[in-house]
Amino acid sequence: MDIRIRGISSKHNAKISIVDITESMQKIIELQGSNPLVTIALSKFTAANTLLAMELKNGEKMTANISTKDGKIGKMITEFQNDKIRSYAQHNNFDSREILKMENPIIGTVGTQGSLLISQDLNMRDPYVSNTDLVDGSIDLDFMNYLRSSNQVQSFITTKVSLNNDFTIKKVVGILVQLLPTHTENDIDYLEEKIGNSSYVGEILLKSTNYEALIKEIIEDAVILEQRQLQFECTCSKEKVMRSIKMLGQAEISNIIEEKKDVEIVCEFCSRKYLVNSNDISELLD
């Protein structure tokens, strides 16, 4: 069971969130047939976006997009809405032999010459969109940089992925600690002492099964705000497919109708295939 859990400390002026999205990522990777490096990168990316989305409500949606010029993965997109997760990688099964020789293969997979775009749809007329340059393609630092530059929030994020011997996913977890505007230098010192370094916290997360106890171990006075289930669910539909075809423009749509072509569209997130015939497409011109 995938879960999200949030807590808050009034004594140390901090919020803390933990997510475990192991089962969701197992389904996503199985559908997309990703190699081990993409499995790790996409899982970390999805966990980080899920952490940022913890305070969304009432159908609000958060979407993250990483696009680079030098990364083997090309582009990654992940969405969170109503405790549902979906994500995909543009290139998910490339030859990884050269990248594995790098000191940090994940950075080589994601790339460094690109940007992280975060879109928050808060049920208003237009979504709030923020775009920041990547720091190093490690994902954790890139999301922390986003929070610092876009929201002026001091934060700590670490995401961890462990694989089985056959390179299938064993566990995907993440933690986000954010200081409240009322924080003091003592709060910063306290959290730095309790959290230590990201590798240490990540290893604790991978071993833990009681996330509520872990939150209270990090911040002893933390009050648990909520604990809820998460799951993978794709939001693709025939209606969305038709809207995407309509965006082709009248000239191209007319050409498809004249040649009586069937159009097959494959969802990038869940690999579901939609076959649309020319009669259906002709209704778009009505």
- pLDDT(60) > 90: yes
How far is CA 29 from each of CA 25, 117, 258, rounded to the nearest angstrom?
6, 22, 39
CA 255 to chain centre: 38
Of the listed ranges 7-16, 113-122, 150-159, the least confidently predicted one is 150-159
Confidence of residue 209 (pLDDT cuts 50, 70, 90): confident
State the pLDDT at residue 47: 98
Share of the chain above pLDDT 70, in %: 97
Residues 142 and 274 in one domain: no
Q: What is the pLDDT of residue 276?
A: 80
C-alpha–C-alpha distance, residues 283 and 207, integer Å: 55
What pLDDT sits at residue 285? 63
Distance of CA 48 to the CA centre of its chain: 5
Say which residues have a Cβ less than 8 Å from residue 17's Cβ, sequence separation at least 6. Answer: 4, 5, 6, 7, 51, 54, 175, 176
C-alpha distance from residue 16 to each of 159, 160, 222, 223 (Å): 14, 16, 8, 10
Residue 284: pLDDT band (50, 70, 90) is low
What are the residues whose beta carbons fall under 8 Å from the beta carbon of 152, sequence distance 6 or more? Answer: none
pLDDT in tens, 241-281: 888 777 776 777 777 777 767 778 889 999 899 888 777 77
> The domain that contains 45 carries what CATH number?
3.55.30.10
> Stretch 105-121: mean pLDDT, rounded?
95
- Mean pLDDT, the chain, as a whole number? 90
Q: Which two tokens stand for residue 234?
A: 């794709």
The last residue of one of the domains, among 232, 248, 268, is: 232
pLDDT reported for residue 139? 96
Q: How confident is the model at residue 286 (pLDDT cuts 50, 70, 90)?
A: low
Residues 128 and 250 in one domain: no
pLDDT at 254: 75
Residue 109's SS3 state is helix
Is the torsion defined by CA of 249, 251, 254, 258 positive or negative? negative
Q: Could you report the per-residue pLDDT of 4-40, keeping only the tens digit for each? A: 999 999 999 999 999 999 999 999 999 999 999 999 9
Percent of the chain whose predicted confidence (pLDDT) is above 90: 63
Q: Tell me the C-alpha distance between 93 and 105, whole Å.
A: 14
Sign (positive/negative) of CA torsion 49, 171, 135, 100?
negative
Please give the tally of structural domains in the chain. 2
Among 51-55, 152-156, 258-262, 267-271, the range scoring the smallest mean pLDDT is 258-262
Please tell me whether residues 175 and 90 are part of one structural domain. Answer: yes
246 in the same domain as 187: no
**Poorest-pLDDT segment among 21-25, 91-95, 153-157, 185-189:** 153-157
> The dihedral of CA 179, 183, 184, 190: what is its sign?
negative
pTM confidence score: 0.91
We report the CATH number of the domain holding residue 253 as 3.90.1280.10
For residue 262, give its domain range: 238-285
Question: 274 and 256, same structural domain?
Answer: yes
